[in-house]
Amino acid sequence: MSIDVINVVADIGGTNLRIGVVGADDSVNDIELFQCNEFESLKAVLEIYFSKNAIDSTRVNACLAIACPVEQDLINMTNLPWQFSQSELKADLNLNRLYLINDYTAIAWAVPKLSNAQKVKIGGGEAVPQKPIAICGPGTGLGVANVIWANDQWISIGGEGGHVDFAAVDNTEVEILRFLQHKYSRVSYEQVLSGLGIEQIYQALCSIKGIGSQAYHAKDITAKAIDSSCDVCVETLNQFCKILGSFAGNLALTTLAAGGVYIAGGIVPRFIECLKHSEFRARFVAKNRFTAINSAIPTYVITEAQPGLLGASAYLIQQNSNEALCR
């Protein structure tokens, strides 16, 4: 006898955790937000959600999109001190089924489903249907994923592209790189394209200028840049946008992402107008002999509030369908 399944999805970042239930129309309902640092484990959060919503865990098929590699049974979150076994989590919660996918794999699943109302186009270019799509997103870390069309369906390809070596393009970035090399044995793009990255660009620019830095958080720097109350903060945000453009342009070349490059994450949607008027797009297309290729590729900022949950839902629905076909 088959059980009446409850489909639960979660989007687990280094800072926030969102959980919801997939409805009959494939929408995600009963969404709740948790602050990760307030809990000692993922299991504790899920237990609270199940209890609060009177969910029988034995009926749950869960897809958890999480900000770290998921290929092994033992999960170690990249930007959060949570460690757990996938098989033990499933057994401890007594779940019917459990799937873990990378958080940017989830966003990649969501991207082909986004409407024009859920994204903002930055610059020129036109998307070519069924061509590869690349996604990156500065947040607590720097997520990267790709989507390709094969066998009459979209296939999401995860990865850890945010941890590739940071490549300085102009003299200021060379100085930023040198500043960070005093802190790290290896400097990745995540160290400049993330919340911490904004803070470190600011600190580096203050050091380069020979002035004292303030104990600003990323949100403070962004706010002061937007209202032009701090010249170094303005320069910081401009430099961030330029570096993001170069990185996104590299992603476009890696897969020839003629379907577009999408910017996700919690940071960039806060200053879309600044991004539009920055050198982001100029850096994106500035690829020497390949400038014409990148000029034709569109760039978007995802404004949908819950792309991770939408993608986890799409993945879970597909898995449930595959299971039904195998019966």
Task: Region of 152 please: left (phi>0), alpha (psi -120 to 50) or beta.
Answer: left
Give me the residues paired with residue 75 across strands.
Answer: 84
Q: What is the pLDDT of residue 122?
A: 98
What are 20-76's pLDDT values in tens digits?
999 988 889 999 999 999 999 999 999 999 999 999 999 999 999 998 889 999 999
Section 226-247 average pLDDT:
98
Phi then psi for 188, rounded to 5 degrees? -105, 170
Over the Cα atoms of the chain, what is R_g? 20
Question: What value does the mean pLDDT of the chain take?
Answer: 94
Residue 274's nearest CA partner among 239, 246, 230 is 239
The position carrying tokens 């830095």 is 213
- Lateral strand order in the sheet of 97-102: 28-35, 16-22, 6-12, 60-66, 97-102
- Name the residue type at position 190: E
Give the contacts of 175 (CB within 8 A, at least 6 positions apart): 204, 208
β-pairing, 6-12 with 16-22? antiparallel
**pTM score, whole prediction:** 0.85
- 3-class SS shares of the chain: helix, strand, coil, % to 5: 45, 25, 30
What are 282-325's pLDDT values in tens digits?
999 999 999 999 999 999 999 998 899 999 999 998 888 776 55
Residue 73's nearest CA partner among 61, 95, 62, 89 is 89
Task: Count the Cβ atoms, other than its own, within 10 Å of residue 295.
Answer: 15
Burial of 307: CB neighbours in 10 Å, binned 0-12, 13-18, 19+: buried
What are 6-16's pLDDT values in tens digits?
999 999 988 89
The answer to whether 323 and 112 have CB atoms below 8 angstroms apart is no
Q: What is the pLDDT of residue 63?
A: 97
Q: What is the pLDDT of residue 13?
A: 85
Alpha-carbon distance 174 to 120, whole Å?
A: 31
Q: What percent of the chain has pLDDT over 70?
A: 98
Domains of the chain plus CATH, in order, are 6-101 (3.30.420.40), 115-303 (3.40.367.20)
Sign of CA dihedral 237, 240, 246, 250: negative
The answer to whether 100 and 316 have CB atoms below 8 angstroms apart is no
At 1, the pLDDT band (50, 70, 90 cuts) reads very low
The answer to whether 206 and 232 have CB atoms below 8 angstroms apart is yes
At 226, the pLDDT band (50, 70, 90 cuts) reads very high
| DSSP 3-state of 86 | helix
Alpha-carbon distance 51 to 60, whole Å?
A: 13
Alpha-carbon distance 263 to 236, whole Å?
A: 19
